[in-house]
Structure 1
Amino acid sequence: MLTTISWIALVIGIVSFIIIAFDVYKHPQMMTIMNIIWPINGWFFGPFAIWTYFKWGRLKAKDSNQEDERQQSAKIFVSASHCAGGCTFGDIVGVPIVALTGMTIAGSTLFAHYLVEFILAYLFGIIFQFLAIYPMQQNKHKFHAFKSAIKADTWSVVTFQIGMFGWMAVVHYLLFSNPPTPVEPTFWFMMQIAMILGFLVSYPANWWLIQKGIKEAM
């Protein structure tokens, strides 16, 4: 039953990815990196990502000019989505690296996933943030935009990974006697859940960063 549910969730995620990617291709975002972020979010958020994309992300979305509390929440959501996209990309790249190398730390595959995926999630998170910031700071040196990206996204990435890694620990130690591997659909379904939880944990961090003026609302 769980395998069937996993396949259904993965198919929904892939279809959501394709729907958003196709629309982004026809209606490119003003901020180029979001052309990648929105489809990635479709993979783990599914139909909810489609709804948020057409409501808040697509150019000329109907609420784009509303400056009220809902719109502020939307800006924080998009900012958190930006972080989630970079982290998710890094995590997905990291999984096959650990699987193909057979890497372990202290005899644990989970700890190897933690190390590799955190490094890659942080790297891609900062790169994605840099690609968002630099076009707005072209009158300044690239290094300034890079420092701004680190300042804006470090805490966001860390909190995302905390949420994600917490769920991975639950999966590894509590839910399965033999945890699923990357060749099984259940593994990737658990990863989809991990991404959602990572997003939820990182949302308050993004709210705080934006409120303090450390990070620009998107």
Structure 2
Amino acid sequence: MTMQSAVPDWLTPVAWTYITLSLLSAAVIAFDIYLLRRRHLSVATELVWITSALYLGPFAVAAYLRKGRANPTSTTVAAGGVAEPAGTAVAVLPGGGASAVAHLVAVPLVVAVGWTIAGLAMWPMILVIAVLAVVMLAVYERVASREPRTGRTRGISMGSALAAAFITVAAFDIGMVGWMLLLHFNDLMPPVTDSTFWFLMQMGVILGLLTGYPAVSWLLRRNQSVVVA
């Protein structure tokens, strides 16, 4: 993205501070899981908690201590098959983690190959991020649904996992892509080499959590998604 950005100068120290806190938060969660041996039922679930810190920063540590570390055996769905609000709030984390990791892969890749659509690198970035996020989220849902805590006799099929991942990512993109378009059309999209770009993408992932929440709640009620533990 080569357009001139109107991002204010004061956002740079804010971006560096939040990015630093996010990396430290991811390290704290990883330390607790792997060095303090507070292991989860699958590596996939552990990675969800670690990657949640890449965009939630210290808020991810608070959520982990409350829902991941302190209460790892919480159930996914309340009695009667209706997802609990807290369960839905945690269930959006895999989608957020997939989006965050997809950004880290897709943005440098698109820039490196010089891929543009209509003269903009933003469109292929959005496309690659969406594809990567769907694949990663589908793999997570497939693996996590086979864990004993879910109460299933067998995991959901790969087709169902892909469908659930597609629905989730589409809902996430209402917030994430909408945020990117808002930044672009207001000349607020910094170069990808700028810390403010990555900070603004972190904010976009958080917006994606909000727009993805209803879809994840619906998938939970259909027993097509699981809550991390």
| TM-score, reference length from structure 1 | 0.86
What secondary structure, in the 3-state scheme, does the structure 1 residue paired with 2:145 have?
helix
What secondary structure, in the 3-state scheme, does the structure 2 residue paired with 1:41 have?
helix
- Deviations for 1:175-217, whole angstroms, at most 9, x for unmatched residues? 52xx312211011001110110011110111111112333344
Other-structure match for 2:196: 186
Q: What aligned pairs does 1:80-95 form with structure 2 within 5 A after superposition?
A: 80-95=92-107
Unaligned runs of 5+ in 2: 1-9
Q: CA deviation at 1:172?
A: 1.5
Cα contact 1:89–1:124 (8 A) shared by 2: no
Question: Quick one: structure 1 residues 128 and 68, their matched pair in 2 at CA, closer, same or farther if it must change by over 3 Å?
Answer: closer
Other-structure match for 1:55: 66
Q: What aligned pairs does 1:75-114 form with structure 2 within 5 A after superposition?
A: 75-114=87-126
| TM-score, reference length from structure 2 | 0.82
Number of aligned residue pairs: 212
Unaligned runs of 5+ in 1: none
The separation in 2 between residues aligned to 1:46 and 1:161, in whole angstroms, is 21
Q: CA deviation at 1:115?
A: 1.4
Cα contact 2:134–2:162 (8 A) shared by 1: no
Greater helix fraction, Structure 1 or Structure 2: 1
Amino acid at match of 1:200: L
Question: Quick one: structure 1 residues 68 and 119, their matched pair in 2 at CA, closer, same or farther if it must change by over 3 Å?
Answer: closer
- Deviations for 1:53-94, whole angstroms, at most 9, x for unmatched residues? 110111x429948x979x922211221112221222222211
What secondary structure, in the 3-state scheme, does the structure 1 residue paired with 2:49 have?
helix
Q: 1:73 aligns with which of 75, 85, 95?
A: 85
- Deviations for 1:83-140, whole angstroms, at most 9, x for unmatched residues? 2212222222111111111110011111121111111111212122222124559976
Q: What aligned pairs does 1:6-25 form with structure 2 within 5 A after superposition?
A: 6-25=15-34
Select the structure with the greater relative contact order (CA < 8 A; seq sep ≥ 6). 2
